[in-house]
Amino acid sequence: MKIILFSIISILLLTSFNKEKALGEVNNVISYANNNSNKNNYINNIYTGLKWQCVEFARRYLIINYNITFDSIDNAYNIFDLPYFISLKNNMMIKINKYVNGSKTPPMKDSLLIWNRYYKNTGHVAIITNIDNDIITIAEQNYNNNSWNGNNYSRKLKIVFNNGYYIMNNNILGWINYDKI
């Protein structure tokens, strides 16, 4: 009896650890809790990244909503080093505009917000879902694994407009605006 009970408990525990926990959704893209997976993820046979890292979420967002992606990178902060994104329709280069934190050009809805390398030694990336005066809402994966509570964003960040410059938290490297095709 003890062996059967132990087996049932083990099966329940294993299946609960293997379930993917959805945190929220924005523009038909689901954010998942990261369970330290090292498995590759694909959508329509297109590589999006390691499940469920922040870079994977950003790629999947761009693929689903704009049919564009970006080259392979080592860390999230390396997205800021890329010279262009790539159209999945015709494999052409997509123009991107990069703005460092403290720029005169504001981030926009759907901009990629990039954290610098000092943030967890890898940086971070999120999608800006809305800007309302001095508050930016963002969608992301692999930040804190908290539910979005029915919102289309994971959290809010403050942005300050000071003497013509848009300034955010010191860990923010900058943002990338891109041509939507």
Of 76, 74, 35, 39, nearest to 55 by C-alpha is: 76
- Residues annotated catalytic, as ranges: 54
Domains delineated in the chain: 22-178 (3.90.1720.10)
How many CB atoms are closer than 10 A to CB 41? 18
Model confidence pLDDT, tens digit, residues 57-85: 999 999 999 999 999 999 999 999 999 99
Supply the pLDDT for residue 92. Answer: 96
Return the H-helix or E-strand segment holding 138: strand 135-139
Percent above pLDDT 90 for the chain? 82
**Which tokens belong to 175?**
């943002």
Q: Which of the four pLDDT bands, split at 50, 70 and 90, describes residue 8? A: very low
Q: What is the DSSP string of 78-91?
A: GGGG-S-EEETTT-
